[in-house]
Structure 1
Amino acid sequence: MKIAVIGLGVLGASTARALALAGAEVTVFERSAPLAGTSGTSFAWTNSHSKDPRAYHDLNVAGMAEHAELAGPGGDWLARTGNLEWAEDAAGAERLAASVAQLTERDYPVEWITPQRARELVPDLRVPEGVRDIAFYPTEGHVFPALLVARLWGEARERGAELRCPVEVRAVSEVEGGARVESTAGTEDFDAVVLATGRWSEALTASAGHRVPMADPDAAGSATVGLLGFTRPLPTRLDRVLTTPRLNVRPDGGGRLIVQGLDLDAQADPAAPPSPDGELAATLCARLTDLLAGTEGARLESLRVGQRSMPADGLTVAGFLGERGTVYVLATHSGITLGPLLGRLAAREVVAGEQQDVLAGFRPQRLVGRSDLPPLRPARFAGQQ
């Protein structure tokens, strides 16, 4: 089969790899550069927290397992070193206890540990006074998106996949016997097209006659936007994820850290990116110093506004748009956690025509043409994002 994939983020690279492994002739269209969309501005935490309904939780757990299997013993893009989380007030403690209880009921690996044990796992950790119980999620971790895309796209390229970049796809459509791609490079027909265009999915699905509504990625202070700070190299010891009431932190390689304060996301505006040495940056750095020894004097190299890819109901979209079965769409807020899994499942549906039961509740038809969905609630507390 001759198949086009639109977009070269994590989802696009994963799909291209899986299609190429299945023997398809793959052409990837990318309008600017690999990782230029949401994949390049993601906290990239692999987890299944607050992922409801149960089918969505289970899908994310399967996504975590897919990462582990793909990485094997030497995957340099995956750090499966766990996550630590705690609460600092009564309301937070109640939320965390309820979340841990639900995850335990779902057989999700989580345990309560002491501050002393937490400091054994993270020697430079500063646990606030009064915190007695810390939730540890041993199978969670984080991904280095550029290294993951390098692995996925490298294997696709080795099997003949072709990249056309920079080429902007303006429309896709179903045609007799296949699908058509109209781009700045011309018009070309394929046996099938897979859309992996993240927050730009609504426009392209509309061009195919089956509009899948997405949450507005440009709405300041909404669920789709968030601040990510990238520090300069720091002499602190951290090899895992921390999701705490005031700051989320993970390593970014070379001594750098990524920091995120969910309450500060209310001030995130893609039209007005904040300065890396302004007030918001200073707040993030001060919170970092409170959390980890060795970060005194921390400065940010950049402070970016991430724009999340979120279908209008907050859940993953995966499936064919029309009855012809030639235009397939993938869109999800959990692109890092689900990327390798969704790419493999999509390839099986496109190439082999084998419906994947785990995707049954995530078909685009539930959303096509809808305009009555309420705005999504932003994540403002640890573990929600």
Structure 2
Amino acid sequence: MITKYNPHIIVVGAGIAGASLAYHLTMQKAHVTLIDRANQPAQEVTEKSFAWITAGHDTSEINFNFKQQAIADWRRLEDELRGALKINWSGALSWYSDMTEADQIANKLNSLDYKVRLIDSQQIKRLEPNLKIVPDQAFFAENEGAIDPALTTQLLIKAACEAGAILKLNTEVLFLMTSSSRVTGVVTIKGNLNADMVVLTAGTDTAVLCKPLGLNLPVKVSPAILMKFYTQQQFVNRIVSNPFMEIRAASDHLMLAAEDYIDESADNNPQAIAGRTLEAIKKHWRGATQVKLIDVVVGKRPVPQDGQLIIGQAPDIKGLYLTVVHPGITFAALAGKLAADEIITGQNNILQSTYRPDRFN
């Protein structure tokens, strides 16, 4: 908690997480400087995201309920910005190779008040009439959606700047300034900046900046592939995830697909995976004969070693707050709000010890 009125807070990293935090801090009257080394916001992991707002189906995850709240918080943020975010709440259709436990999974999700229905092939056809190979069953999560990650980041930063935040691009942070056991600002390639609090939302670079302070954050890179396809017309209505593909229409003429990164071998490099994905799309969908690959990129997602979020004050170091959130799109709205609340007011009614950075000590 910062007791000073209108404190100066530096947020390092202008991806979706940093943009959300900057927005929520300015809404609480903080003076915010948002810094990024790139020449535009969202240039690192964010723009390479499939951008699916989802809780998934693994109810054993400790943060499943947290994910549900995260989805609800996107609707809260959408209302605050009066619909400017243009979130596509079309829902998500998912199925697996083995659906023998589908009823059990659906019942468990419903018991947790998560809106997921197990639907049959006829219902699937109504939702996705262009699907040629229709499964017997699928999960339909009606409250899930997707965003344009770069546009959403820009809109949040625009709202923050209109409320007084300052955006500094092309400004790489070299290391953190300290005095005794307190972080007092940042040293950048353009000079020093002082602050009452520094918040790191810099993905895997968060761990890099913490290391000289003796703080070792076990954050690893989890690469993922994003593919962009040109389509003559939209033929997919919703987010569709199955053993063959994970796709969604971003516009009438742009379709996105996501896959796990494997390696750089001839059979499994990103271009090879994109080729197989294109073949699967043409095989499974009507209207897909003219689909063409536009681009394929690899996003380096920051994932803490234990798979949980990192949100909180750095242990034994005053003036430093840390956020490493994965999946970043799903959690961005909620994590930004909770972190801002805690930084400004000291309130923490939700964040569990599971997410705190001192768990690694």
Question: Would you call these one fold, judging by a TM-score over 0.5?
Answer: yes
Cα separation, 2, equivalents of 1:52 and 1:332: 19
Whole-angstrom distance in 2 between the partners of 1:226 and 1:174: 35
Q: Deviations over 1:261-320 (max 9, x none)?
A: 44xx32368xx9744xxx433211111112221111321100111211101111100001
Partner of 2:75: 68
More strand by share: 2
Query: Corresponding residue for 2:86?
Result: 77
Alpha-carbon distance between aligned partners in 2 of 1:203 and 1:102, rounded to the nearest angstrom = 40
SS at match of 2:10: strand
Residue in 2 aligned with 1:334?
327
Cα drift, residue 199 of structure 1: 2.1
Structure 1: which amino acid aligns with 2:9?
I
Could you tell me whether the CA contact under 8 Å between 1:225 and 1:268 is conserved in 2?
no
Q: For residues 48-92 of structure 1, give each alpha carbon's deviation from its aligned partner in whole angstroms, at most 9, with x where no partner exists.
A: 11556554111111110000121137244311111111234xxx2
Rate the CA distance shift 1:15–1:66 in 2: closer, same or farther, 3 A.
same
Q: How far apart in 2 are the matches of 1:120 and 1:303?
A: 31
Matched ranges for 1:202-241 at <5 A: 202-215=207-220, 217=221, 224-241=222-239
Structure 2 match to 1:374:
none
Kindly state the Cα deviation for residue 209 of structure 1 after the two structures are TM-superposed.
2.9
Answering whether residue 10 of structure 2 is matched by residue 4 of structure 1, we say: yes
Q: Among 271, 292, 312, which residue is 1:319 paired with?
A: 312
1:179, 1:190 within 8 Å by CA — same for their partners in 2? Answer: yes
The question of whether the paired residues in 2 share the 8 Å contact of 1:115 and 1:127 is answered with: no
Give the match for residue 252 of structure 1: 250
Of all paired residues, the percent bearing the same amino acid is: 25
| Counterpart among 285, 294, 301 of residue 292 in structure 1 | 285
- In the superposition, relative to structure 1, how do residues 19 and 314 fare at CA in structure 2: closer, same or farther (>3 Å)? same
CA distance in 2, matches of 1:76, 1:22: 21
Amino acid in structure 2 at the alignment position of 1:28: L
Asked whether the 8 Å contact 1:195–1:201 carries over to 2, the reply is yes
Partner residue, 1:18: 24
Alpha carbons 2:17, 2:335 under 8 Å: kept: yes
Task: Give the TM-score taking structure 1 as reference length.
Answer: 0.84
| Alignment match, 1:372 | none
Q: 26, 34, 57: which is aligned to 2:41?
A: 34
Matched, 1:58 2:56: no
Aligned to 2:126: 120
Residues 300 and 323 of structure 1, relative CA distance in 2, 3 Å threshold? same
Letter of the 1:29 counterpart: I
Distance 2:58 2:156 in 1: 26
Matches within 5 A, 1:146-185: 146-175=150-179, 179-185=184-190
- Greater displacement, 78-87 / 355-364: 355-364
Q: Tell me how far 1:237 sits from its aligned partner.
A: 2.5
Residues 111 and 166 of structure 1, relative CA distance in 2, 3 Å threshold: same
Q: Tell me the C-alpha RMSD between the 2 structures.
A: 2.2
> What are the ranges of 5 or more consecutive residues in structure 2 without an aligned counterpart?
1-6
Deviation digits for residues 18-64 of structure 1 (CA, Å, limit 9, x no counterpart): 11111111111101131111111111111111556554111111110
Task: Decide whether aligned partners of structure 1 residues 30 and 261 sit closer, same or farther in structure 2, where only a CA change above 3 A counts.
Answer: closer
Closer/same/farther in 2, CA of residues 188 and 231 from structure 1, 3 Å limit: same
8 Å contact kept, 2:59–2:108: no
Query: Which runs of no fewer than 5 residues in structure 1 stay unpaired?
Result: 218-223, 369-385
The letter of the residue matching 1:345 is L
